[in-house]
Structure 1
């Protein structure tokens, strides 16, 4: 037998063994492929979240030590508006663009969504807006991850899995809650329907992204609960009533923010002027009240709510500040302000 024949024989034997192996373990190629992709997502998104959290912490601390910066919130809003109006109209939809990309994948999400929303959110917090951080994390994650769609030659269904995994990684790493991040990515953007072939990539991406964020030595806020009530009839009744109240509050927040957004759009035709006007309202309110309690993330108040009962109007004021900030066009998320609203309402 010649060397070529021997080589061909060995090659065919290897191919046969490979086919037999993959028939025996049919899910292995799927696991290997998505673990590789999830690892890349985890490294990129986890690092981006770490950088964002460090920047956000710096912006918050600097603002609290230089309160005069809040007077420039309208100017910051105008600049954010101009940036998106002239250079980012195709990414202005933010999270809605992610939803559309999952439900009806078309063009690759422009990478500039990541730096734009990063800068917009840091500016919002630096100058005293009331906003969260998860919206920014999701948009950064989606924009970064979608750049791998073409290099990995992913089809439409696989691209959906990629974006779900990115969202899971973004949410999990920004809050330090990988399990919640995976469930968020799997459920939220598909409204109660789970894409089962995305379960492994979503959990893998979220866990790895959180691990990478921790490797950057970025700390998350921990909330300590001293007492958990026993499972008795009265606490259960209270929980049911509280759940109804929280649900009504969340529904009110959602409806009002959409209503106020429509007012800004109908009354102010030039988009960059909307955050300018919103910035004036927020800045004047902050200086009039003499407190920064209701701007930024509001994490100190959330922590405080676990230790003592807070004024009954705190949740309403935080809701008002957040609605005006986001409805006007500033950047950031809603989840952390909703944590504030829920904690103080509770």
Structure 2
């Protein structure tokens, strides 16, 4: 939220945010917190971009471009999606108004970061999807239904995430006691489920879902674990948890609807990502970069309907909506919590 706010105003990002968010995210993952890495990466990249903008005494609008370059580079290095990364950075700040002046420098930053990450041994994020159906009416209707359901799950995720944080902050005002209380709640949840699927990033579960194997309640448990982790004060990202939730939900939908669970897991990932971030173009590009272009028409169907029906809910409170999703009228609406 600080990063998004700084792009729209002259608010400064503190230099110490970069090392602090890095250390706190490592601690979250070390202790088994249910969170991702990309939130820290976006803050890290935005903070470094802001620092360079001040160091070279750039004008305010150029500092904003530098922040977007840092966000693009960090997102690209983490996910190895160099095409989607700059689009996401430009699209997420204000829905309906992309920051096109940052297109060229953000693209260069993203490609450079992805190349360097490859040299450092971080592999490309590629997944194989089984049984992509031909573009026909029946599978299209099923995928549209999956997009509708993903919109509902994305709204549920956003509401529980924000409300858990609100309730924990109001009931336990001391931040140290609050994070201890959240730790105790996570421990109790872990003892109840008796497995580690919902701790940490959860890439193993995502991989199993993309292979067609998931249990129906897994998406609900991940929502609960992530809401307690981030609401209690642990640091990390929400995007990888949204991939987890979308993948297992889509896989279970495919098992019920009689369409490839593996393919539905990939559709669920991008549709739910769009529902929580309100970034349809970045969602489509992530789908193509992660899974290939074979399922692109289906991805776009699910993304479009999820974007429309998720309303004005989202992960980031500082995200704004310039235009109405339904009428096209100018609304300047803030994210609902």
TM-score, normalising length from structure 1? 0.70
Decide whether the 8 Å contact of 2:209 with 2:248 is kept in 1. Answer: yes
Give the unaligned 5+ runs of structure 2.
251-337
Distance (whole Å) between structure 2 residues aligned to residue 305 and residue 288 of structure 1 = 22
User: 2:7 maps to what in 1?
Assistant: 102
Pairwise CA distance, 1:289:
2.2
Aligned partners of 1:321, 1:151: CA distance in 2, in Å?
40
Residues 1:257 and 2:161 aligned together: yes
| DSSP-derived class of the 1:128 partner | coil
- Aligned counterparts of 1:269 and 1:279: Cα–Cα separation in 2: 15
Q: CA deviation at 1:318?
A: 0.7
**2:267 matches 1:327:** no
Relative CO higher for 1 or 2, CA cutoff 8 Å, sep ≥ 6? 1
| Equivalent in 163, 181, 195 of residue 85 of structure 2 | 181
Partner of 1:238: 142
Contact 1:128 / 1:283 at 8 angstroms: preserved in 2?
no
Q: Please state which structure has a larger fraction of its residues in helix.
A: 1
Q: In the alignment, which residue of structure 2 is the partner of 1:211?
A: 115
- Quote the residue 1:190 is aligned against: 94
Q: Deviations over 1:122-151 (max 9, x none)?
A: 111111110011001011111112111133
1:62-73 mapped onto 2 (5 Å cutoff): none
Judging changes above 3 Å, is the alpha-carbon distance between structure 1 residues 288 and 252 closer, same or farther for their aligned structure 2 residues? closer
Contact in 1 for aligned 2:81/2:125 (Cα 8 Å) = no
Given the alignment, which residue of 131, 137, 147 partners 2:51? 147
C-alpha displacement at 1:220, in angstroms? 4.5
Whole-angstrom CA distance in 1 between matches of 2:107 and 2:3: 19
Shift of 1:285: 1.6
User: Which runs of structure 2 are paired with 1:269-280 in the superposition (5 Å)?
Assistant: 269-280=173-184
SS at match of 1:244: helix
Unaligned runs of 5+ in 1: 1-95
- What is the RMSD of the two structures over their aligned residues, measured on CA atoms? 1.2
Q: How many angstroms does 1:221 deviate by?
A: 4.3
* Deviation per residue, 1:41-88 (Å, 9 max, x gap): xxxxxxxxxxxxxxxxxxxxxxxxxxxxxxxxxxxxxxxxxxxxxxxx
User: CA contact under 8 A between 2:49 and 2:63: conserved in structure 1?
Assistant: no
Q: Report the counterpart of residue 187 of structure 2 in structure 1.
A: 283
Identify the match of residue 201 of structure 1 among 101, 105, 125: 105
In 2, the alpha carbon distance for the partners of 1:283 and 1:271 equals 18
Measure, in 2, the Cα distance between the counterparts of 1:125 and 1:151.
Answer: 32
CA contact (8 A) 2:202 2:241 kept: yes
Query: Where in structure 1 do 4 or more consecutive aligned residues deviate above 4 Å?
Result: none
Within 5 Å, give how 1:79-158 maps onto structure 2.
96-107=1-12, 109-158=13-62
Report what 1:44 is aligned to: none
Q: What secondary structure does 1:149 align onto? A: helix
Q: Distance in 2 between matches of 1:225 and 1:105?
A: 44
3-state DSSP of counterpart to 1:130: coil
| Cα distance, 1:118 vs structure 2 | 1.1
Once the two structures are TM-superposed, the CA of residue 245 in structure 1 deviates from its matched residue by 0.7
Larger Cα-atom Rg:
1
Aligned equivalents of 2:94, 2:57: Cα separation in 1:
23
Deviations 1:85-126 (A, max 9, x none): xxxxxxxxxxx110111011233x222111111111111111
Residue 125 (structure 2) pairs with residue 224 (structure 1): no
